[in-house]
């Protein structure tokens, strides 16, 4: 049994992350058009009928651009906090809206999604951990700084989408106006390469198999730079860059079996052996 994960797009031009347990799937955010979402799903061999929910992190357009069209066409429930709903403009699809609250798990079939609040310049932004059979996938992007909650959940993840938005020197010397630079690096904007690297170096669990570095800035970062930084850390974790131009491959994350479930065949075998003695 596996969890399948993929990035359909990651960046300021749109974000959409796919997680599938083999029976049902969800999107975390839907920030690219319905047409582009369908096209990328098709190229990956993924079926839209499998998608049972869209979970919205916050109201910025690069995270919700495709929501109205996708929900209208496929009748997919969209999970959003009450505060974010007021800013997101989902009124035409209101009957498909389900509210969530931080720290109260959402169940979508065999998937459980736990939301927790993050630092970002939106009205009520959240990060997520998606779980199945004690296997955890983190979606940690649009983060102003690595708070205690992020560290807590990152340590539990078998795979994660982690923001590595900007290089500090490139941002400082770049063409952005001062107010925008300060917004990005001011604690409620985005996570720098250095902050992402420190989180990975100091808090990654030994069992983390995949890290998808996400939401790279087009102006203030480069995939080659990020790859070189993370390649310097000795680790068994597969580190890849989630592109702002195309979908990633589908990565498979093995499910951790419930210990009790693993014991059942052994118990049955033992019982059969005992019975054979009579």
3-state class percentages of the chain: helix first, strand second, coil last, to nearest 5: 35, 25, 40
pLDDT at residue number 272? 53
Helix (H) or strand (E) holding 70: helix 67-74
Asked if residue 137 lies in contact with residue 111, where contact means CB atoms within 8 angstroms, the answer is no
- 21-47: per-residue pLDDT in tens? 999 999 999 999 999 999 999 999 999
Q: Ramachandran region of residue 7, left (φ > 0), alpha (ψ -120 to 50) or beta?
A: beta
pLDDT at residue 273 tops 70: no
Q: What is the largest CA-CA distance in the chain?
A: 84
DSSP result, 218-255: SSS--HHHHHHHHHTS--SSEEEEPPSSSPPPPEEEEP
Spell out the domains of the chain, with CATH numbers in brackets: 2-275 (3.60.15.10)
- 237-264: per-residue pLDDT in tens? 999 999 999 999 999 999 986 544 433 3
pLDDT at residue 101 tops 60: yes
pLDDT at residue number 257? 64
Question: Could you tell me which residues are beta bridge partners of residue 117?
Answer: 126
What is the pLDDT of the chain when averaged over all its residues?
Answer: 93
pLDDT at residue number 271? 44
pTM over 0.85: yes
Alpha carbons 31 and 33: distance in angstroms, whole number = 7
Helix (H) or strand (E) holding 20: strand 16-20
């Amino acid at each position: 049994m596996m969890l399948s994960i993929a990035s359909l797009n990651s960046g300021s031009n749109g974000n959409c992350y796919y997680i599938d347990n083999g029976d049902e799937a969800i999107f975390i955010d839907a920030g690219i058009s319905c047409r582009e979402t369908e096209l990328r799903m098709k190229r990956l061999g993924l079926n839209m009928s499998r998608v049972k929910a869209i979970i919205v992190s916050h109201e910025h357009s690069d995270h919700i651009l495709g929501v109205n069209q996708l929900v209208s066409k496929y009748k997919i429930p969209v999970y959003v906090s009450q505060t974010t709903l007021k800013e997101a403009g989902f009124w035409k699809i209101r009957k498909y809206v389900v509210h969530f609250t931080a720290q109260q798990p959402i169940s979508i079939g065999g998937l459980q999604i736990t939301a927790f609040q993050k630092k970002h310049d939106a009205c009520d932004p959240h990060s997520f951990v998606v779980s199945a059979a004690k296997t955890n996938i983190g979606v940690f992007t649009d983060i102003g700084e690595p708070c205690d909650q992020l560290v807590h959940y990152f340590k539990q993840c078998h795979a994660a989408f982690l923001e590595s938005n900007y290089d500090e020197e490139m941002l400082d010397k770049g063409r952005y106006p001062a107010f925008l630079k300060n917004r990005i690096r001011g604690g409620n904007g985005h996570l720098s390469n250095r902050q992402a690297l420190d989180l990975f170096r100091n808090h990654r669990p030994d069992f983390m198999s995949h890290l998808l570095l996400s939401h790279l800035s087009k102006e203030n970062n480069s995939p080659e730079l990020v790859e070189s930084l993370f390649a310097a850390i000795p680790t068994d974790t597969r580190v890849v860059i989630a592109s702002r131009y195309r979908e990633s491959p589908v990565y498979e994350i093995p499910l951790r079996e419930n210990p009790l479930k693993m014991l059942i065949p052994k118990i049955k075998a033992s019982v059969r052996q005992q019975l054979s003695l009579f």
